[in-house]
């Protein structure tokens, strides 16, 4: 046996001794199993061998047990020892007794050592994968930090402190996220896949759970269970609504979450690339909850249909655009938060009601499918359409700008004619 091969075997122990992710008992078991596997391949069986691993010292001992037989009955050198040979070891040995002697694994040859290294490497790699899968399966829903190692078109590769690979898909990144190689990235563990014993850890920064965990880190009352996050609606990187509830009447849940001069929520907003976060008080009163979710717009009245989870909301003309929000974001998030489809209607006083005209009366000038497009979003009168900003009408109806402009021109002309008369 060459000196180089001896050193390689010692190196093998040194490598595996440093594996912090694998506990001592498992390491010993894997090493013993590997030795036994090599022995079994060489001799057909490892039943008569004892393998003792000393991971702390980085060495091992192998003992072979053979039965003493008469010299003329000797057949298998691996399982038996001649009586004459046994007596050379100790005069008291008799036929049928067992002789245990130390085996020099190095004497098995270079192929056996290579086989051992390959077997060990394979088993250790398998164990590491199992440990990574188990570790991150327990961390699903928790925030982790890792270093950005590589940026690809569809995802980013991150490396944690133990060298494990984590993946942050493009679809799970906030649209305004910008990172460079070497940056530390925070995200929540969304899921852990395990195909053919190859774990893949998927992270997310757009999940509502990420926002929830950030609140737990920034707001001690949430972490301590005094305040509970009941619901979250989120458009990543743009806006989010968070409904909170306090179990202690002395604690204002909204104030606690926002902090003095926004001190607590500022850190969350920065992490989420200036995502605008509305924190509101949760209530089981659906009407009140919808009103709070549409804040700062003020509602005049609500008509609920609990069967199909719809709400007709009536408000003054000047409140409508505020309720809808820029790009329809406010009403969309309010709908997500409350679980109700919200239809906003412009409230008219009695005088305006009599002066208003239903859109259907314009079907000689406006095609019916265009009228239906307005009615589908809650506007069935001329003045209700004219009260809504042009851009909101374009976005909500999906009609061409030219079509919207034509409709607005027709409706305005109608009221101008009335004024002239």
Task: Give 292-339 as a DSSP string.
Answer: HHTTTS--SEEEEETTTTEEEEEE-HHHHHHHH-GGGHHHHHHHHHHS
Number of neighbours of residue 351 by Cβ within 10 angstroms: 8
Please count the other Cβ atoms lying within 10 Å of the Cβ belonging to residue 401: 11
Q: How many CB atoms lie within 10 A of CB 103?
A: 15
Distance separating alpha carbons of residues 406 and 390, to the nearest angstrom: 12
Provide the H-helix boundaries in 90-240.
110-137, 208-218, 220-223
Residue with more model confidence, 332 or 58: 332
pLDDT of residue 398: 82
Query: Where do the domains of the chain lie, and which CATH numbers do they carry?
Result: 3-133 (3.30.1480), 141-206 (2.40.50.140), 211-279 (3.30.300.20), 283-347 (3.30.300.20), 350-420 (1.10.150)
Q: φ and ψ at 55, to 5 degrees?
A: -65, -30
Question: Is the pTM for the entire model greater than 0.85?
Answer: no
Structure confidence at residue 130 (pLDDT): 87
Three-point CA angle 48, 54, 55, nearest 5°:
130
Over residues 164-178, the pLDDT tens digits come to 999 999 999 999 999
Averaged pLDDT for residues 35-58: 84
Mean pLDDT of the chain: 86
The yes-or-no verdict on residue 16 having pLDDT over 70 is no
């Amino acid at each position: 046996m060459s000196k180089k091969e001896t050193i390689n075997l010692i190196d093998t122990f040194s490598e595996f001794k440093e594996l912090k992710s694998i506990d001592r008992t498992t390491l010993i078991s894997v090493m013993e199993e590997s030795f036994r596997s090599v022995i079994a391949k060489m001799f057909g069986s490892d039943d008569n061998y004892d393998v003792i691993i000393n991971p702390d010292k980085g060495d091992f001992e192998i003992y072979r047990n053979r039965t003493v037989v008469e010299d003329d009955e000797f057949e298998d050198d691996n399982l038996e020892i001649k009586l004459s040979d046994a007596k050379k070891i100790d005069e008291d040995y008799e036929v049928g007794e067992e002789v245990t002697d130390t085996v020099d694994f190095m004497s098995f040859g270079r192929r056996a050592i290579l086989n051992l290294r390959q077997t060990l490497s394979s088993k250790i790699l398998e164990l590491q994968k199992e440990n990574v899968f188990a570790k991150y399966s327990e961390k699903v829903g928790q925030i982790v930090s890792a270093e950005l190692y590589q940026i690809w078109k569809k995802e980013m590769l991150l490396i944690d402190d133990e060298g494990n690979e984590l993946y942050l898909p493009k679809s799970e990144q906030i649209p305004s996220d910008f990172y460079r190689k070497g940056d530390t990235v925070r995200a929540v563990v969304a899921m852990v896949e395990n195909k053919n014993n190859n774990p893949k850890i998927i992270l997310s920064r757009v999940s509502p759970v990420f926002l929830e965990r950030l609140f737990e880190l920034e707001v001690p009352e949430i972490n301590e269970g005094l305040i509970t996050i009941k619901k979250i609606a989120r458009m990543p990187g743009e806006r989010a609504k968070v409904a909170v509830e306090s179990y202690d009447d002395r604690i204002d849940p909204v104030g606690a979450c926002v902090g003095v001069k926004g001190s607590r929520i500022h850190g969350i907003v920065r992490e989420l690339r200036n995502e605008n976060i509305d924190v509101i008080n949760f209530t089981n009163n659906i009407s009140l909850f919808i009103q709070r979710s549409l804040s700062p717009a003020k509602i005049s009245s609500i008509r609920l249909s609990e069967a199909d989870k719809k709400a007709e909301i009536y408000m003054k003309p000047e409140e409508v655009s505020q309720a809808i929000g820029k790009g329809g974001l406010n009403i969309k998030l309010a709908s997500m938060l409350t679980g109700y489809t919200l239809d906003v209607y412009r409230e008219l006083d009695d005088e305006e009601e009599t002066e208003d005209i239903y859109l259907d009366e314009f079907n000689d000038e406006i095609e019916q499918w265009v009228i239906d497009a307005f009615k589908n979003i809650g506007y069935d009168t001329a003045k209700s359409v004219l009260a809504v900003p042009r851009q909101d009408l374009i976005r909500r109806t999906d009609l061409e700008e030219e079509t919207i402009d034509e409709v607005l021109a027709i409706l305005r002309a109608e009221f101008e004619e009335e004024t002239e008369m």
